[in-house]
Amino acid sequence: MTRSARAPWAAALLLLLAGSCADVEERLLPDCTDVARLAIVAQSVPDAAYVPCVAGLPAGWTFEGIEVSDAGAELRLESDRNDRGVRVELRDRCDATDATPIAPRDEGVRTYQVIAAISPRVVGRVLDVFPGGCVITSYDFVRGRHVALVAELGQVVGLRTRLELSQELRSRLGITLDP
């Protein structure tokens, strides 16, 4: 990205961070309807056909933070019914070699599941693989509670197409995503 192309992104980031520090995490929530925040996530993996987002937070779920770099993005979520957080990562690639295919979450996405352990905890990952990238959702849930938590996780983590996001950014804000 050229220096002149970075200027709108820097301005958008400053707008996102404006205000008091008390609710920084809430303001950084990459909600599926907030194209400005999602644009920053999308720029972390410029070839990714999809971008992860928070579709909604059911009762007991909280957004704990986000880290974005030129290597990808990581969202952190927690449930009050579990003692460990959930990590949602956008990467340019992931290894689905040992994963089991499951019903795809969206058109154009291949979705896989990897269960690493089932006792004493249920530890696993869901891989959403698509052109130019993948989303890895990693969880470590208390056995017994895991059934409801995995179901809710499917409602919490959403995917937005880069094309749709790009079109909305251009029409609403006059911003163009790379590439």
What kind and span of H or E run contains 172? helix 162-173
Closest CA to 90 of 109, 71, 111, 112: 71
Quote the pLDDT of residue 19: 40
CATH of the domain at 149: 3.40.1000
With H, G, I as helix, E, B as strand and everything else as coil, classify residue 38: helix
Task: Answer whether residue 169 is part of any domain.
Answer: yes
- pTM recorded for the entire structure: 0.84
What DSSP string runs through 53-122? EE----TTEEEEEEEEETTEEEEEEEETT-SS-EEEEEES----TTPEEE--SSTT-EEEEEEEE-SSEE
pLDDT string in tens for the chain (179-residue length): 444 444 444 444 434 444 434 354 556 899 999 999 999 999 999 999 999 999 999 999 999 999 999 999 999 999 999 999 999 999 999 999 999 999 998 999 999 999 999 999 999 999 999 999 999 999 999 999 899 999 999 899 999 999 999 999 999 999 888 76
Range of the domain at 83: 3-173
Q: What is the pLDDT of residue 26?
A: 59
109 within some domain: yes
Residue 65 belongs to some domain of the structure: yes
Distance between CA 172 and CA 42 in Å, rounded? 17
Number of domains in the chain: 1
